[in-house]
Amino acid sequence: MRRGEPDTAPNGRPDAPGGAATRPPSQADVAALAGVSSQTVSRVVSGRAKVEEATRRRVVDAMQILGYRANTAARALATGRFHTIGVLGFTFGAHGNARTLQAISEQAQDAGYSVTVMTVRRHTEGALREAVTALGDQAVDGIVLIDPQILDRPGLELPTGVPVVISDGNPDRRYPSVNNDQTAGARGAVDHLLGLGHRTVWHLAGPRDSYAAQQRAAAWHAALKAAGVPIPPIVYGDWSAQSGYEAGRAIATAGEATAVFAANDHMALGLMRALDDAGVSVPGDLSVVGFDDVAEAAFFKPPLTTVHYDFEQLGRECVSLLLRLIAEPSADARVAVAPTPLIVRGSTAPPPSRAGGSGRH
């Protein structure tokens, strides 16, 4: 790593085309050109201290001429801050996570932070865990955990020493979490269906290990209980349309349900498709409510009544909270939650009248 260049610079180093890669300009180079010391350059770039206007101009000009860019690594080494937050999850390809990540990225960028994504493989054991851990620590100032069930993996330790916030996670965990009001959303869905006259509402839940799925299921259960209506068994899916389709077949075969609340829109889509295949009309014979309000939901057939979920707000709040915790580790962890309004479209209606309702099959 030595420079290896003689101090008595011989006539111009070869900057010729195809020549040696020339080292990018450093603070010291700027300082030399501007005729100041390097820490004055530092003061100018950080803007944290007084610099006389004339000096400042000279420095800025020199930076311009040389095309100076601060070296992130050196800064991080000196300050101990990376100005980077890590986002840790199973996948960023899934709809909700992708939207949340985008919001996180924008919000972080506005605050001068960059975002590193760290994915942990779902079905991976052993050594890779350590790799993830090693990746995560020391290179980020804080972490947003976007798939909180990662915490359930034995042996996966999050780096200590940096704050962690959980997106859509269980609040009684060891880390602060940010949640939209899923409970209200699920309750709104159930109440809407009951209000239409359905005797009860079935639930097509997300995977058991997902906290979001758990919370939606719990709210569904509570709403039914509060209404004093019978509580059907939960049907489980894995968020995918395929799993929704399979659940739909089962529900159609059972032939009891008149209303189903699905824990996300993709499963609702598969569900509706299965019902259609089975000759059950939506919403004539059976009403369906989704969750998420994906951009495509309005164009399903029928257009899906669903709970709107604000992933963008979720991501932004995660960043805000995390930055507060980075600045002041004991900061207040309370955050505002976004509302989850029900968007009523065409997939819900009153239950079929008694006459034609029971023998439909």
Q: With CB cut-offs between 5 and 8 Å by kind, which of its own copies, DNA, none does residue 139 bind?
A: its own copies
Does the protein bind its own copies through residue 357 (CB under 8 A)?
no
Does the protein bind its own copies through residue 244 (CB under 8 A)?
yes
Q: With CB cut-offs between 5 and 8 Å by kind, which of DNA, its own copies, none does residue 199 bind?
A: none
Strand partners, 166: 145, 177
CB of 226 to its own copies, least distance (A): 33
Does the protein bind its own copies through residue 106 (CB under 8 A)?
yes
Q: Is residue 330 within 8 Å of residue 345, measured between CB atoms?
A: no
Q: Is residue 260 within 8 Å of residue 204, measured between CB atoms?
A: yes
Summarize as ranges the residues that interact with DNA (CB under 7 A). Answer: 1-3, 23-24, 26-28, 35-40, 42-43, 45-46, 48, 50-52, 54-55, 68-71, 74-75, 77-79
- Burial of 359: CB neighbours in 10 Å, binned 0-12, 13-18, 19+: exposed
Q: With CB cut-offs between 5 and 8 Å by kind, which of DNA, its own copies, none does residue 38 bind?
A: DNA
Does the protein bind its own copies through residue 361 (CB under 8 A)?
no
How far is Cα 36 from Cα 31, in angstroms, rounded to an integer?
Answer: 5
Of 296, 304, 285, 299, the C-alpha closest to 343 is 304
Look up residue 233 and give its DSSP letter: P
What sign results for the dihedral spanned by CA atoms 81, 83, 87, 93?
Answer: negative
CB of 163 to its own copies, least distance (A): 13
Alpha-carbon distances, residue 324 vs 11, 204, 329, 348 (angstroms): 53, 37, 7, 42
Interface positions with its own copies (CB under 8 A): 1, 21, 24, 69-74, 76-80, 82, 84, 91-95, 97-99, 101-103, 105-106, 109, 114-119, 121, 131-132, 134-135, 137-139, 159, 161, 240-242, 244-245, 266, 269-270, 272-273, 276, 295-296, 298-301, 303
